[in-house]
A = this chain, B = another copy of it.
Amino acid sequence: MPSTPADHTIFIPQALARVRADSPLVQCLTNSVVTGFTANVLLALGASPAMVDIPEEAGPFARIASGVLVNLGTPHAEQRSAVVEAARAAASAGTPWVLDPVAVGALPVRTALARELLELRPAVIRGNASEIIALAGAGAGGRGVDSSHGVEAAEESARALARTTDCVVAVSGPVDFVTDKVRCARIAHGDVLLTRVTGGGCALGAVMAAFAAVHEDRFAATVAAVAVYTVAAELAAKEASGPGSFAVSFLDALAALEESDLAEPTVLS
């Protein structure tokens, strides 16, 4: 059970190697803005994306998928049925699934849906500070996908949410915070350009599903997903002239990431 920064430094490159070797099948029920980028991020990582998000297919597929992402960015009526079907099937089959409650708290339809989904035992919840605070019941959400709260302000909410739901909670921001109810970790990598590419946060949820698919320890898997993702972003930023070239370099960097890129400690205690 990796807990300390030193543990994570050993675990993270192994975790990435395992994702690449197993190429987990990650079912994504995600918003209409980021489907393409999310699939490309999973392909660059070495996982196998499948965007199966209609009723009557989403449930059966969640039973054979290795991991599932449910992102509430554009929750159209048909997709609302499909995500409940998929989450229920995943919970019943033991398939780890990640909940990304985009703009929860600020908008009514998805807020009700997120509450319903919380009962279906996600393995991981990923959001920005405002979303995690709203989901934990401690605030009223942000504006769209922006976060009006800092990550530190959300740490208490994240811990509370992890306790009540018994899952891993990850708060994205300049310093990412990951916690289960016992352990916690902070990852201070990434680049501000990641916030200038649509799907920069959403695709991380899919990467968490890929890591959770192949590792029993969901906390360590989530920390590894964040570390891999944000270290690749740092490498990409060095090559980029702006947000357009950054998105391209980021996919290249994810695909090319080597063990040596992850040799330094990336996790703070």
Contacts and interface: CB of A to CB of B under 8 A. Distances in A.
A143 interface: yes
A172 interface: no
A36 B34 contact: yes
A162 B250 CA distance: 42
Contacts of A254: 242
Copies of this chain, complex-wide, total: 3
Contacts of A54: 74-77, 109
Interface stretch (A4-12, A42-50, A120-128, A149-157): A42-50
Interface string A216-255: 0000000000000000000000001111110111111111
Interface residues of A, number: 60
Interface in A129-180: 143-146
Nearest to A75: B54
Interface string A22-42: 000100000111111101100
B44 A32 contact: no
A197 B43 contact: yes
Contacts of A110: 57
A252 B245 contact: yes
A247 B244 contact: yes
A110 B56 CA distance: 10
A91 B256 CA distance: 46
A84 interface: no
A264 interface: no
Residue among A40, A195, A199, A240 facing the most chain B CB atoms (10 A cut-off): A40
A199 B36 contact: yes
Given A40-B197, A43-B198, A60-B108, 10 more contacts: A25-B146, A40-B247, A44-B244, A50-B145, A56-B108, A240-B252, A244-B250, A245-B248, A245-B252, A248-B248
